[in-house]
Amino acid sequence: MVYVDFSPLKCGLISLVLFLIVKFIRAYSEKSRLRLIPTVGPDGILTSYITVFKWISNANEVVNEGYRLYPGGLFKIPTLNGWEVVISGRELLNDLRGASDQVLNPDIFTEDALQAYYTMHPNVMKSSYHTDVIRTTLTRNIGVCLQDTYDEVKVAMSEKVPLSDDWIDIPAFQTALEIVVRISNRFFVGLPLCRDPEFCDLNINFTSDVFYNALTINQFPKFLHPIVGRIFTSRRASLRKAVRLLKPMIEERLKLREKYEDDWPDKPNDFIQWCIDAQQYAPLSLRTSLEDLCVRVLFINFAAVHATSAFTFALYNLACHPELVDSLRQEAEAAIEAEGWTKPALLKMRLLDSFLMESARTTGPRANGLLRKAMQDFTFSNGMTVPRGTYLSVATGPMLRDNTIFPDPEEFKPFRFAEKREKEGVSYKHQLVTPTSEWVLFGQGKHACPGRFFAGTTLKLLMAHVLLHYDVQFPNGSRELPQNFKRNADSAPDRSTKVMFRRRSRN
């Protein structure tokens, strides 16, 4: 009889060896299929991990190098998820934009990168009818609900940043996060739940957990994902909490809908109601599902929380450039005096729109974006072919700092885009929410971010309110912009930075 030692240590070593063998075979196979596409950094199976570690700490540096070495072409970079091909030219960007979802699919890439099946919910990608709700009903109601949204801006700001004649230190990123979640949920679920601290914390933590859980899962081979995806995620706990908090509201609305059908007195006008009304577009098994509606609320909060970084970067740039305050204030005051706190007033704030664009361009862009997965072999207009299964992205960070597109790209020119809009025939082109071949922050074509109009409105409301009610500066009057926190391709505001606020001076 043969006895085998199955001690935990030996089992662990065997599992590690098998894991490394699988990773090696996968890397070799992928590399051979992409051999005609140049590589940034060493391209050996083992030496490529030098670039992987650089990618983790500063992906912008890696993508910038590829953009410089292979202008207008393609290059590949090794990541923890495998090889990724990056597009570095506007001409090839048009190829990507014109490809159908059957050829280059953004949802599959996102699902793989975020491991959405495990970190969010299996239904999120299986049935994404909520995206159509965001693109249509939600967007149409931004103006209708603007007064309620601004009411939440006033209340949230007064609680989180009290008006004081003396300077007070505020932890900028965390405060911005709490304010953005409050404002967004006034639009998503309404009062009083949008002000419930437990509900707000749930959505903040869920967003953070998705990223960290996906990062963990992606360290393992795909065949282990069903196991580790259940071990290293907190989505079930998040969903249980969401169901507990949302259940009374949803059940009441479903009863009213059953009684009155499509309309009833004082029918709520918010995202959760629009999803209930749109459930005929969901699979039959998901209709009127309490759990599924809660998943949609968690998902849209995951998307909305990203406005936090843009708001924080804008505050940092305002503190760095106090000489801009008078121009921005005068524009906001004139627009609000003429139109009130309305959508037309926000459209008149061209200087503020330009300021937000330049803030995002210079401080907050991802290293790469417009993520796609090739569902079949795809040939670009330059003759280069990527095989089925390839992950693709666009070098969005370098594009937004390309001196052939934006002269003096490293210089912060707050009214750069407002000046462009003064030219005849392009007044609506150079706007924060308008995707172009130059402005790639919100994606391109039919896959441009469906929530960009709500995000843009939220940012303008917040910044206009700050301008009209507060003075802003860094401690000790510093004019130095804090260093960003970088992780993989993302670039986020430094979370330890404080911004000082006081009641606006009327001198």
Q: Contact 113/211 with Cβ under 8 angstroms?
A: no
Q: Contact 185/197 with Cβ under 8 angstroms?
A: no
Residues 6+ positions from 303 with CB-CB distance below 8 Å? 451
Three-class DSSP labels, 341-381 = CCHHHHHCCHHHHHHHHHHHHHHCCCCCEEEEEECCCEECC
Sign of the alpha-carbon dihedral angle for 306, 309, 312, 318: negative
Q: Contact 432/456 with Cβ under 8 angstroms?
A: yes
Residues 6+ positions from 388 with CB-CB distance below 8 Å? 374, 375, 376, 377
- Whose CA is closest to 497, among 357, 325, 323, 317? 317
Q: Contact 62/41 with Cβ under 8 angstroms?
A: yes
- Cα–Cα distance for residue pair 327/232, rounded to 1 Å: 50
Residues 6+ positions from 63 with CB-CB distance below 8 Å? 40, 77, 86, 367, 368, 395, 397, 398, 489
> Quick one: how far is CA 48 from the chain centroid?
28
What tokens appear for 19 in the block?
A: 């894991």
Residue-wise over 142-154: b if at least 16 C-beta within 10 A, else e?
A: beebbebbbebbe
Computed on alpha carbons and rounded to an integer, the radius of gyration of the chain in Å comes to 24
- Cα–Cα distance for residue pair 351/330, rounded to 1 Å: 10
Cα→Cα distances 84→40, 359, 470, Å: 11, 28, 45
Q: Where are the beta strands (DSSP E) in 162-304?
A: 168-171
449 is in an annotated binding site: yes
- Cα–Cα distance for residue pair 112/118, rounded to 1 Å: 10
Residues 6+ positions from 127 with CB-CB distance below 8 Å? 282, 283, 286
Helix/strand number for the chain, H first, E second: 22, 12
- Cα–Cα distance for residue pair 86/67, rounded to 1 Å: 9
Residues annotated as binding site for heme?
449
Residues annotated as binding site?
449
